[in-house]
Every structure is written in C-alpha cells, then in structure tokens.
C-alpha cells in the first residue's frame, strides 16, 4: 500500500491546507451603485492605507459623506486624506471610480467590474493596469494586462490609475524561509515535490533509473492515479 498523494490529502482538508481567511482585513470591493452615481458623483475620503496579508497590493479604507465606508484596491500615488469621487460626472483622475462609458480612451484603469455593481473582478494585482481602447453604445473594448482584448458593459465601474505595489516581483526571495512565510499567508502548500522525483510507492510518476517527463493520464483514471496532466485536448506539435 503506497502513501497518500498530496492531491488526496488536499481533498480531505485539514489545517495545512485551509485558507487563512481570518487574517484578511475584509472584502476589497466597491459598494453597491448609489442613485447619485448614475448621473452625478459621490464624494469620499481615503482614511487609511492597509496591508492585507497575502495580497500584493495595499488596500484603501474609504469613507463616504453619509458615513458609510468600504475597502478598495489602492491606486499608485493614493494617500491618506485624498478626496476621491464615485460616479459618472467624477473627473477621470487617479483614484476616482467611474463607469467605463465615462472614462476617456487611452486611460489606465484597474479593478474592473465584470457586471455592473459586482464590486470589481479584473486587474487587481499589484502594478497592473488595463487600457480603454474604444467605446460604442453597448460595449467598451479594453486591453487587459495580458494583451488580450475584452468587451465590457459600459455601466461597469473601474478605478483610474495603476494598482499600487508595483515592482513587488523584482525583489528576489533569496532564501526559502521567505517563500515559506508567503505560502502561509496565501494558503499555498510549500514546498511542493515533483512526482517524478519520488519513489514509485509515493507517486504514480515515481521510480525508474532515468528521469522521464510527466505522462498524461486518462480522464477515467481512478483517484490516486489521476495526477499531473489529465487527458489533454490535443498532443503533438502544432501545425503552422
């Protein structure tokens, strides 16, 4: 009887694999769309800039004139005491949140909503930004950080600017302990050993006198054997 694979242990759960959600500051999302935002704007003040464990970008604690507050992904250059605005008539300056239809073409934006009012889903990693390319009556075309073009509802909101915390990946980890502590904050399992580096009792890819690459397994393979590349859609070199 071989040992349990890592994927089997992960499926059973446990303290090693649980996400440390209790360490989080809170949900970083825009508040529901207010009526005043649809035609005018709502004023707010940045009260605090916070570190969220496991997140590369800082969060901004924003307080509105009516006393309500929210957490949002901070923009590069945002500072405590800065006055920002939410709404269609807000100026397109760094930190303001506008619907896509009100943002000029060529502007850098981030934290883009997938659907109007969902709070923001896309472009939230530190140092990233998307670019408004074109507007039409029923869609806005945006170039994502990957270079892909994506269409959005014109009423979806986004923040003007670039996500704060850029340059994070330029500093090397240097030692394994730094990556270990990052993994604890992000709910990674670290370190991860390759299956082909194990013995045959420990993993289906293990054993053998010579190193070999991972081999795809059948989609119908039983749990424990279904590891690595599972039933690829195609194999071989692409033509053309």
Residues 153 and 100 in one domain: yes
Same domain assignment for residues 62 and 139: yes
211 in any annotated domain: yes
pLDDT mean over 181-185: 92
Residues 126-167 have pLDDT tens digits of: 999 999 999 998 999 999 999 999 999 999 999 999 999 999
DSSP SS3 for 188: coil
CB 88 within 8 A of CB 109: no
Helices (H) then strands (E): counts for the chain: 3, 10
DSSP string, 62-123: EEETTS-EEEEEPBTT--TT-EEEESTTS---TT-EEEGGGSPTT-EEESB-SSTTS---BS
Task: Say if 179 falls within a structural domain.
Answer: no
| SS3 state at 183 | helix
68 and 123 housed in the same domain? yes
Separation of CA 72 from chain center: 13
Q: Establish if 230 belongs to a structural domain.
A: yes
Instruction: Tell me the per-residue pLDDT of 44-86, one tens digit each, with 9 for 90 and over.
Output: 999 999 999 999 999 999 999 999 999 999 999 999 999 999 9
* 223-236 pLDDT per residue, tens: 777 888 888 777 78
Range of the domain at 217: 193-235
Q: Is the pLDDT of residue 200 over 90?
A: no
- Domain ends where: 129, 153, 168? 168
Q: Are residues 26 and 103 in the same domain?
A: yes
- Total domains in the fold of the chain: 2
Q: Three-class SS of residue 140?
A: strand
- Report which secondary-structure segment, H or E, holds 159: strand 157-160
Residues 114 and 150 grouped into a single domain: yes
Non-local CB neighbours of 35 within 8 Å, separated by 6+ positions: none
Any domain includes 3: no
pLDDT of residue 196: 86
Residue 18 has pLDDT above 90, yes or no: no
Q: Please, what sign has the CA dihedral across residues 132, 123, 77, 153?
A: positive
Residues 114 and 39 in one domain: yes
We report the CATH number of the domain holding residue 207 as 4.10.950.10
Distance CA 81, CA 95 (A): 12
Cis-peptide into 191, omega within 30 deg: yes
In a domain, 80, yes or no: yes
Element containing residue 61 per DSSP (H, E): strand 59-64
Is position 219 within any domain? yes
| Same domain (yes/no): 200, 99 | no
Q: Dihedral, CA atoms, 43, 48, 50, 56, nearest 10 degrees? A: 50
pTM value is 0.84
Whether 220 maps to a domain, the answer reads yes
CATH number of the domain that 144 lies in?
2.30.30.30
């Amino acid at each position: 009887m071989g040992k349990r694979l890592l994927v089997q242990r992960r499926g059973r759960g446990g303290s090693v694999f649980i996400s440390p959600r209790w360490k989080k500051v809170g949900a970083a999302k825009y508040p529901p769309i207010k009526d005043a935002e649809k035609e005018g704007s709502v004023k707010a003040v940045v009260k605090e800039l916070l570190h969220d464990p496991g997140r590369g970008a800082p969060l901004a604690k924003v307080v509105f004139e009516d006393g309500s507050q929210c957490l949002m992904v901070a923009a590069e250059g945002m500072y405590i005491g800065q006055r920002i605005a939410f709404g269609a008539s807000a100026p397109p300056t760094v930190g303001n949140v506008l619907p896509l239809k009100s943002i000029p073409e060529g502007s850098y934006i981030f934290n883009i909503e997938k659907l109007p009012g969902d709070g923001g889903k896309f472009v939230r990693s530190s140092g990233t930004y998307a670019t408004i390319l074109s507007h039409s009556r029923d869609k806005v075309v945006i170039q994502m950080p990957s270079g892909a073009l994506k269409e959005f509802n014109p009423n979806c909101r986004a923040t003007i600017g670039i996500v704060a915390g850029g340059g994070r990946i330029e500093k090397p980890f240097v030692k394994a302990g730094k990556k270990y502590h990052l993994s604890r904050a992000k709910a990674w399992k670290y370190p991860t050993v390759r299956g082909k580096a194990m013995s045959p009792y420990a993993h289906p890819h293990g054993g053998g006198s010579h190193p070999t690459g991972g081999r795809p397994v059948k989609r119908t393979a039983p749990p424990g054997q279904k590891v690595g590349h599972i039933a690829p859609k195609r194999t071989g070199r692409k033509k053309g």
